[in-house]
Amino acid sequence: MDNKKSISKMLNEDDGIKSMLPYERFLEKGPESLTDAELLAIIIRTGTSQRTPMELGNYVLSMCEKYGKGISGIRYLTMKDLLQIPGIGHVKAVKLMCIAEISNRIARSKAKMRLDFNDPGTVAGYYMEKMCNFRREHSVVACLNNQNELICEFELSVGTVNSAPLSPREVFIYAIKNNAVKIILLHNHPGGDPTPSYSDIKLTEELKEAGILLDIKLLDHIIIGDHTYFSFTENNVM
């Protein structure tokens, strides 16, 4: 016999519990009336003989808090993280990961509407929605035409939590192949602090000099941190 506590079973056992259940509160008062744990409980839907959906929702939230993000920390959780929670199997983990990805895509879509490659803040905002969740350092080059419009973008490298080795040659190979006139280099600092390191500054200088020789301008180098960024152009260190 299945020992899972489904919401429908709980309702059948005790009508008085309806007002306490997130699903019923959603129907009566709308989603804005629910706590983060209650929203997660509706998505999780069923519990176990040891934990109700609400308890599982609170457990997921406690894991999110490790990243200091509240419910938005779910974007940092992996399948492995979720499967470590007693009562969360592959189906529930996939649902939660899909919710996190939907959240990411909505955020990126909003950021894209404001995207202007002449404005480092909007560029950082767009790429931040994806890159600030990475646990390792990633490097991306955006290839632009003469009107500062995006031609294409490429992920150049994925490194460790501390670095992603990169050379000017790798950057300009993609730029030349795609007839770029200008480029913007972006990479993230998984630690959250976007302050450039010595190697970041050195790489920027090398890219700028190589770009002059190749007639491909380095428009900016943007470092993504934890919902913050550092732009070499904005800080006049280009």
Q: What are the respective helix, strand and coil percentages of the chain, to the nearest 5?
A: 50, 15, 35
**What average pLDDT does the segment 119-130 reach?**
90
CA 160, distance to chain mean position in Å, is 17
Q: Give the pLDDT confidence score for residue 227 in this predicted structure.
A: 85
Same domain, 213 and 180: yes
Smallest CA-to-CA distance from 136 within 153, 106, 158 is with: 158
Tens of pLDDT, residue by residue over 127-180, are 987 787 788 899 999 999 999 999 999 999 887 555 556 889 989 999 999 999
Say if residues 159 and 136 touch (Cβ distance below 8 Å).
yes
Helix (H) or strand (E) holding 151: strand 150-158
Same domain, 17 and 92: yes
pTM: 0.65
Residue with tokens 């350092």: 137
Q: Which amino acid is at 196?
A: P
Tens of pLDDT, residue by residue over 54-77, are 999 999 999 888 776 678 888 878
What is d(CA 157, CA 134) in angstroms, rounded to the nearest whole number?
Answer: 13
Phi, psi of 227 (to 5 degrees): 55, 35
**What average pLDDT does the segment 106-116 reach?**
77
Length of the chain: 238
Residue 110, pLDDT > 90, answer no
What is d(CA 114, CA 76) in angstroms, rounded to the nearest whole number?
Answer: 24
Q: What is the number of structural domains in the chain?
A: 2
Question: Domain range spanning residue 193?
Answer: 114-231
Tens of pLDDT, residue by residue over 12-64, are 555 444 445 888 888 888 999 999 999 999 999 888 888 899 999 999 999 88
Same domain, 81 and 124: no
Q: Which amino acid is at 207?
A: L
**What average pLDDT does the segment 113-121 reach?**
89
With respect to residue 208, please indicate whether it lies within any of the assigned structural domains. Answer: yes
| Domain's final residue, options 72, 107, 142 | 107
Q: Give the pLDDT confidence score for residue 161 in this predicted structure.
A: 52
